[in-house]
Structure 1
Amino acid sequence: MDIDWGALGTVFVVALVAAVVLTVLFAYGVRGLSERAIAREQGGSGVVQFTGSIVCFVVSAAVVAYGIYLIVA
């Protein structure tokens, strides 16, 4: 039995990058929601922050859904 170390390394790097990207996107989404709350306390609407956080959450969900699709298919 031979191990294809190049393929294993590729899988490791892609998984690491995907995990970092997903974590950063979700963190920016949470940060946008907190910035919206701060903007609303100061009398602003916070629409831009809310929109940005929704975009981050949708992209995060899309990355997770694509990962599940790759596993199932």
Structure 2
Amino acid sequence: MNIDWAALGQVFGVSLLATVGLVGVFTLGIVTNSPRAGATSSSALARTGAYACYALCLAAVAYGIYLIAA
């Protein structure tokens, strides 16, 4: 049994970056949608940005489920 350590490292790196990125985008959506953020910026603009972050997260999760099911 041979393990391709380079491929395993690549999978680990991509998974780590995708996870950190997705959590970061979701956190940005939460922070943007919080009442404190609305006081410093336009409420409609902040809400639109938050919804865009949530939509990006939903698209990433849906794509992951598609890859698993395919």
Seq. identity, %: 46
Summarize the Cα distance change of 1:5–1:45 in structure 2 as closer, same or farther, 3 Å threshold: closer
Which of 54, 63, 67 is the aligned partner of 1:66? 63
TM-score by length of 1: 0.83
Give the Å deviation of 1:45: 5.7
Aligned equivalent of 1:2: 2
Give the Å deviation of 1:72: 1.6
Q: Gapped runs of 5+ residues in structure 2?
A: none
Aligned equivalent of 1:56: 53
Deviations 1:7-64 (A, max 9, x none): 111110010001011000000000111123x36xxxx860000000000000011111
Q: Provide runs of 4+ in structure 1 moved above 4 Å.
A: none
Greater C-alpha Rg? 1
Give the number of equivalent residue pairs.
68
Q: Gapped runs of 5+ residues in structure 1?
A: none
Task: State the Cα RMSD in Å.
Answer: 1.5
